[in-house]
Structure 1
Amino acid sequence: MPHDDQADPDAHDDGWPDAPGDTALTIPVPEADALVRTGTRAHVTVLYPFLPLSRFSADTEEALSDLLASTPAFTLTFRETRRWPGVLYLPPTSDEPLRALTKSLRARWPEAVPYRGVFGDEGLDPHLTLASGAGTDALPESDFTAALPLSSPVDAIRLIVSDGPGTRWRDVRSYPLGTGVTTARR
């Protein structure tokens, strides 16, 4: 995935090449932007990849808008750092709203397998990547923990798209959560 100042659904450069038109559903977390060392804005990935942009239609937009409008807004809180090899991240507490949202999206679009199945059918645990790659394992967690805990209200989900390997991810649309207003059926 590219490293840029837009969005990078987890800052991995190997394991899955981004294809032009790949999309992801993400949650921006501007409260953590100053902590992130991946060259991206702070975010939590809800589902990557989602549907290729070429598959979006008026019906897709309507179904996605309706699903997200029926999902209550929530708050993400980050209290501690954790590590995977080569990755330093923040796990949200509680992660249940994220898991429920991903499960709802997967039920509607089962072909959208998280991380192309690289981490199994369920993907990775919900997280906000702070740093990844060479040198990450040597970063002192104390560089990050002084800013914790931090909380971020979540009232929308952002759809982003890749223009291909090595390119920036760009925002396409933001979908509000919890409005309770759904699109009228035709």
Structure 2
Amino acid sequence: MKKRTSRKSPGSKRLQNAEQLWPLRFTLNGRKVQARVKPTQTLLDFLRLELELTGTKGACLEGECGSCYVLVDGRPMNSCLVLAPQVQDRKVLTIEGVSRGDQPDVIQQKFIECGAVQCGYCTPGLIMAAEALLARNPRPTREEFLAGLEGNICRCTGYNTILRALQEAADAMGMKR
């Protein structure tokens, strides 16, 4: 009987390469970050597991709920769908980068004051979506607020308190300009 020799399938080299670490450089919350990441690691996992930034939440892991929103170059993105290497040389802002030291920013403060938080799981994503919306449009209408939040799901509060918090934040930010 002839001994069989194993031949690696063409896909096995790709699998090996997938486990190699890739260099990653980007700006996170205003600071330069250099790291080595697996090419298949999501930005959400990199932020939470490697950098221990746990404010960004992972709920559906399918890009449906918005709880994992971060801003990439000012645009809200589902970090559960973005691979970490895709933020190479880009600017990423997480919920941890929104506040100013120990003080919440205006949007965060209005969420607190208006009771727009309950379980808190969707809150970071909602705040990140609001940050992007108000940076683009400081005086949105109710319809524009709703459109800006359409990728976010909140199962606890309903949306009235969230919309009130956003309107109050927009008003307060308008006074500071």
TM-score range, shorter chain: under 0.3
TM-score, normalised relative to structure 1: 0.24
TM-score with structure 2 length normalisation? Answer: 0.25
Structure with greater strand percent: 1
More helix by share: 2
Compare CA radii of gyration and give the structure with the larger one.
Answer: 2
